Amino acid sequence: MAKDDLSTPNEQKEYSRRDMLKMTALAGGGIALGASGFGTVLELLGNKNGEANAANQSTVPFFGNHQAGITTAHQNYGYLAAFDIDPSVHDAAKIMALFITWTRLAATLTQGKREVNSDNKELPPNDTNEARDLGAANLTITFGLGHSFFTKDGKDRFGVAAHMPKQLTAMPHIAHETLDPAISNGDLCVQVCADVQQVAFHALRNLIKEALGTANIRWMESGFLNAPKGQTPRNLFGFKDGTANVADSEDQKNVIWTGSDEPQWMRGGTYLGYRKIKMIIETWDRDSYSDQENVFGRKKNSGAPFGQRHEKDPVIMNKMPADAHVRLAHGTGKQIYRRAYSYTNGIQPQTGNLDAGLLFISYQNKPQDSFIPMLRLLGKSDALNEYTDHIATGLFAIPAGIKKNEYFAQHLFE
Ligand SMILES: C=CC1=C(C)c2cc3[nH]c(cc4nc(cc5[nH]c(cc1n2)c(C)c5CCC(=O)O)C(CCC(=O)O)=C4C)c(C)c3C=C
Ligand SMILES: [Fe+2]
């Protein structure tokens, strides 16, 4: 049978054979791409099925100055996953090979294309197929590196510890947190977002599959967030969440993107701060409306700060209770860019309560001066603490955007 009877030949290959050979050579040679490796690389598909139905064909560019999925309009579904490098891997070349494969796959999937299957039906399929008839649905894939990628037990793991991002540390202890290490931190992180959950899951699943043997999944979380176009989404406490985020690109440059104080390969990148925060929904739902508003210092319906009429009006700190969440966060004088998702995970068997909360994700160029001090202050004094538990954490360096014919973190290694 022909390569794949449902497929049309790819017209917009992301990489030529020469590009891939060049990248493989740059990665130190000797990288085994696997028996079907080059077939996979060279025969990317156009996804023609979407033309016949209402699949969401919107795409977000994968290559660029900054990675996508950060200032990209918030998609409806998000996965955040962390990976650990397999203990058998000591060679940077193996990691570079994985990053080449991940880059190729991400560049393909985010543009609504799929990898073609081999002629040989005795081999497993290259693509798992469940998103074949769906478009890209604004899929973005964002890659990051944890502190433990660079050093572990005091050892420089892959010869790049000298180039560690300046603000990347292990996460410090924060008051009142009850962290589960199994769902915290990790050597690598991948954020996958899309407007169709099946598209996002498909992408993550295929990234996991390609990493096997080099990097193993450590944890993954999935979340959702919906709002009418142009409106701020609401969290599970019913409040508009994300109002104070900077929208202007000059402000985003100051808050999000790293500059000349970082190693060259990290400039134009950012840091992802992560907290999994369980929300004690049952207690919240029994609290009075006015108490709920006092917790944040904002009006529940309009999102306006106390003493103001409209959501985007400036915060007047002394109109809010001293321990109001917004007063404390705003009072640090620091800014972060929040891109959170709500999560639900059925019922907690021990209590019969809902297992639900917020996958708090923020991007900032100086986490040691913003995200971490803010967490410390909120951990100590925030009125919100009565209704929340911080159960997982992470801090990851997100390198600059990937250029065409380059691969993720290439300039860290070369
Ligand atoms: C480390 C920082 C923060 C954590 C953790 C955090 C958790 C958290 N927040 C909400 C809900 C809201 N937060 C709001 C504002 C806000 N929150 C932070 C930081 C953290 N939040 C900042 C920096 C700000 C903006 C402050 C400002 O300058 O005005 C709001 C108000 C609306 C908005 O601006 O988004 C809400 C609502 C929850 C539910 C939560 C943990 C579960
Ligand atoms: Fe907040």
For residue 384, how far is its CA from the centre of ligand 2 (angstroms)? 9
CA distance 363 to 191: 12
**Residue 52: inside a domain, yes or no?**
no
Q: Quick one: residue 213, left, alpha or beta (phi over 0 = left, psi -120 to 50 = alpha)?
A: left
Ligand 2 center–CA 219 separation, angstroms: 24
Q: According to the model, what pLDDT value does residue 19 have?
A: 43
Q: How far is CA 141 from CA 101, 204, 252, in A?
A: 13, 9, 20
| Distance in angstroms (rounded) separating the CA atoms of residues 253 and 124 | 44
In a domain, 54, yes or no: no
375 lines ligand 1 (CB under 6 A): yes
**Alpha carbon nearest to ligand 1 atom 22, residue:** 329
Q: Which residue from 354, 360, 377, 391 has its CB within 8 A of the most atoms of ligand 1, so it is best to mutate?
A: 360
> Which pLDDT value is given to residue 397?
98
**Chain segment 44-82, per-residue pLDDT in tens:** 334 444 344 467 999 999 999 999 999 999 999 999 999
- Count the domains in the chain: 1
Distance from C-alpha of 222 to C-alpha of 273, rounded to nearest angstrom: 16
Q: For the chain, report the end-to-end CA distance as a whole number of angstroms.
A: 42
Rounded Cα distance between 302 and 354, Å, is 27
Q: Does some domain include residue 304? A: yes
Confidence of residue 239 (pLDDT cuts 50, 70, 90): very high
Residue 329 lies in a domain: yes
**In this structure, which ligand is nearest to the CA of 327?**
1
d(CA 124, CA 366): 44
Kindly state whether residue 53 falls inside one of the protein's structural domains: no
- Reply yes or no on whether the pLDDT at 178 is more than 50: yes
Residue 76 covered by a domain? yes
334 CA closest ligand 1 atom index: 23
CA–CA dist 46, 104 (Å, integer): 15
Q: How many Å apart are CA 330 and CA 316, to the nearest integer?
A: 10
Contacts of residue 236, defined as CB under 8 A and 6 or more positions apart, other chains included, come to 279, 281, 342, 344, 356, 357, 358
Whole-angstrom distance, CA of residue 72 vs CA of residue 140: 8
Q: Is the CB of 275 under 6 A from ligand 1?
A: yes
The domain in which residue 343 lies consists of 1-47+59-414
Q: Give the other-Cβ count within 10 Å of 318's Cβ.
A: 8
- C-alpha 251 – ligand 2 centre gap (Å): 19
Dist CA 60 CA 140 (whole Å): 7
Structure confidence at residue 374 (pLDDT) = 98
Residue 302 counted as domain residue: yes
Is the pLDDT at 40 greater than 90? The verdict is no
Whether ligand 1 lies within 6 angstroms of the CB of 298 is answered as yes
Which residue among 241, 317, 320 is best mutated to probe the pocket of ligand 1, counting the most ligand atoms within 8 A of its Cβ? 241
Proportion of the chain in helix, strand, coil states, percent, rounded to 5: 30, 20, 50
- Ligand 1 centroid – CA 329 distance (Å): 7
Q: How far is the CA of 128 from the centre of ligand 2 (A)?
A: 38
Q: Please give the model's pTM, rounded to 2 decimal places.
A: 0.90
**CA dist., res. 195 & res. 140, Å (int):** 10
Residue at 299 is within a domain: yes
> 195: how many CB neighbours lie within 10 A of its CB?
19
pLDDT in tens, 308-354: 999 999 999 999 999 999 999 999 999 999 999 999 999 999 999 99
Q: What is the pLDDT of residues 89-114, one digit of tens each?
A: 999 999 999 999 999 999 999 999 99
By the 8 A CB rule, do 206 and 139 touch? no
pLDDT tens digits, one per residue of 114-167: 998 889 999 999 999 999 999 999 999 999 999 999 999 999 999 999 999 999
CA nearest 139: which of 210, 81, 56, 21?
56
Residue 239 Cβ contacting ligand 1 at under 6 Å: yes
* Angstrom distance (rounded) from CA 93 to CA 33: 11
